[in-house]
């Protein structure tokens, strides 16, 4: 039945070129069949459906058809790795670049184009290479900088704003460009927008802005000493420490501020995990004492506690000021409590790491 339906729908697309609404309906039905259905997506590829959709997105004069064709392509690529490999070509990336730079492309068409880029690069080293070699990553970085104007920091409901949704999609796509597998070349390119990301964090601490930026920063600095040093050199670590301070002042009032503080903590840790000497930057903001306050929150999950304790561990590994901060704010009894009360192996390891730092200091 599925094969018959897909054959009929493909024929319908071919014979309805003058009827964009019918084509859109056919495309919606195709992606509802293929979404999270690898077998259906593979069959659609075998009957030439992928290439037809690719051509339709390029050749149709109707925006609603272009958008629906790209969305359908994205769902199919996402559900089947062979479809991802088939479409992961420089030619497709170049087509998507055209959609993004054309003046008559609406925000929605740009969003669909970014979505296709996202699924092409996700968990795909070849896609990460293509996005770089075609110059597509440079365009994504430009969109990261320019899609939101500064006035949009004040939007009452950012999540429903099309420009915000495009910007958020760009953030997710940049994360996939540098991570899983880690891609050092793309990390080195992406750090060019760190000054902009820093300015954004300084001007707005709303979750809708902070979460995507922290995800992007955390993955771009991860295990990359060159990028970490650059981020610290432009004052990025200082900015994250200040954002954490601001959120901690709100956290007694707001559950969302507390959750966001954990997100910022994980980003801080990614910046110093490979080079604990950078933790000295955080001493002047008494980051360790703020992290200890955060750790005392009873609503934290085990995973969140592990992240906070590991960050404390990296802060105190070689920095005496942070070690003193830990001891003066009852950090030692807190770590011992975690060690004695917890059943979680990872949590015990993290607390042991901090205690070893204290042992080193006592010597």
Nearest to 112 by CA among 165, 50, 49: 165
SS3 214: helix
Query: What's the whole-number mean pLDDT along residues 83-93?
Result: 96
How would residue 82 be classed by pLDDT, with cut points 50, 70 and 90?
Answer: very high
Q: Residue 252 pLDDT more than 70?
A: no
Q: What is the pLDDT of residue 255?
A: 84
Q: What is the pLDDT of residue 251?
A: 62
Share of the chain above pLDDT 70, in %: 95
Q: What is the spatial distance between Cα 361 and Cα 53, in angstroms, rounded to a whole number? A: 63
> Taken in order 198, 199, 201, 206, is the CA torsion positive or negative?
negative
Q: What is the pLDDT of residue 161?
A: 87
340 burial class (0-12, 13-18, 19+ CB within 10 angstroms)? Answer: exposed
Q: What is the spatial distance between Cα 166 and Cα 143, in angstroms, rounded to a whole number? A: 9
Range picked from 142-151, 209-218, 244-253, 319-328 for highest mean pLDDT: 209-218
pTM score: 0.93
Q: What is the spatial distance between Cα 53 and Cα 208, in angstroms, rounded to a whole number? A: 33
Peptide bond into 4 cis (omega under 30): no
Of 107-121, 244-258, 334-348, give the lowest mean pLDDT range.
Answer: 244-258
- DSSP secondary structure string, 245-288? HHHHHHHTT-HHHHHHHHHHHHHHHHHHTT-GGGGGGGGGGTHH
How would residue 36 be classed by pLDDT, with cut points 50, 70 and 90?
Answer: confident
How would residue 363 be classed by pLDDT, with cut points 50, 70 and 90?
Answer: low
Query: What's the whole-number mean pLDDT along residues 39-51?
Result: 95
Q: What is the pLDDT of residue 151?
A: 46
Q: What is the pLDDT of residue 256?
A: 87
Q: Residue 310 pLDDT more than 80?
A: yes
Q: What is the spatial distance between Cα 347 and Cα 302, in angstroms, rounded to a whole number? A: 7
> Taken in order 185, 318, 339, 253, is the CA torsion positive or negative?
negative
| Residue with more model confidence, 1 or 286 | 286
Q: What is the pLDDT of residue 317?
A: 92
Q: What is the pLDDT of residue 63?
A: 93
| Residue with more model confidence, 362 or 212 | 212
How would residue 249 be classed by pLDDT, with cut points 50, 70 and 90?
Answer: confident
The radius of gyration of the chain from alpha carbons, rounded to an integer in Å, stands at 24
How would residue 154 be classed by pLDDT, with cut points 50, 70 and 90?
Answer: very low
Q: Residue 159 pLDDT more than 90?
A: no
Query: What's the whole-number mean pLDDT along residues 210-237?
Result: 96
SS3 195: helix
Q: What structural domains does the chain harbor?
A: 192-362 (1.25.10.10)
């Amino acid at each position: 039945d599925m094969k018959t339906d897909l054959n009929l729908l493909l024929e319908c697309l071919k014979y309805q070129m003058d009827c964009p609404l019918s084509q859109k309906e056919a495309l919606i039905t195709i992606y509802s069949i293929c979404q999270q259905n690898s077998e259906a997506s593979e069959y659609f590829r075998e009957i030439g459906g992928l290439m037809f959709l690719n051509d339709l997105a390029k050749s149709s004069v109707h925006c609603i058809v272009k958008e629906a064709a790209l969305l359908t392509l994205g769902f199919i690529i996402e559900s089947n790795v062979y479809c991802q490999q088939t479409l992961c070509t420089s030619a497709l990336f170049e087509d998507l670049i055209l959609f993004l730079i054309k003046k008559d492309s609406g925000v929605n068409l740009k969003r669909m184009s970014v979505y296709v880029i996202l699924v092409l690069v996700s968990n795909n080293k070849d896609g990460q290479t293509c996005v770089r070699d075609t110059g597509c990553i440079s365009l994504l970085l430009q969109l990261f900088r320019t899609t939101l104007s500064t006035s949009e920091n004040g939007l009452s409901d950012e999540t429903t704003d099309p420009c915000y949704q495009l910007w958020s999609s760009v953030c997710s796509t940049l994360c996939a460009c540098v991570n899983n597998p880690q891609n050092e070349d793309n990390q080195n390119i992406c750090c060019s927008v760190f000054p902009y990301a820093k300015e954004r964090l300084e001007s707005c601490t709303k979750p809708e802005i902070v979460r995507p930026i922290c995800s992007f920063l955390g993955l771009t600095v991860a295990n990359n000493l060159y990028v970490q040093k650059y981020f610290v050199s432009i004052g990025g670590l200082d900015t994250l420490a200040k954002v954490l301070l601001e959120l901690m002042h709100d956290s007694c009032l707001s559950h969302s501020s507390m959750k966001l503080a954990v997100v910022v903590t994980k980003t801080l840790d990614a910046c110093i995990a490979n080079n604990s000497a950078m933790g000295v930057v955080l001493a002047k903001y008494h980051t360790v004492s703020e992290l200890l306050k955060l750790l005392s929150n009873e609503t934290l999950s085990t995973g969140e506690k592990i992240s906070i304790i590991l960050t404390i561990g990296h802060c105190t590994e070689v920095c005496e000021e942070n070690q003193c901060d830990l001891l003066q704010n009852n950090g030692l009894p807190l770590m011992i409590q975690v060690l004695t009360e917890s059943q979680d192996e990872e949590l015990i390891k993290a607390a042991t790491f901090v205690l070893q730092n204290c042992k080193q200091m006592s010597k």
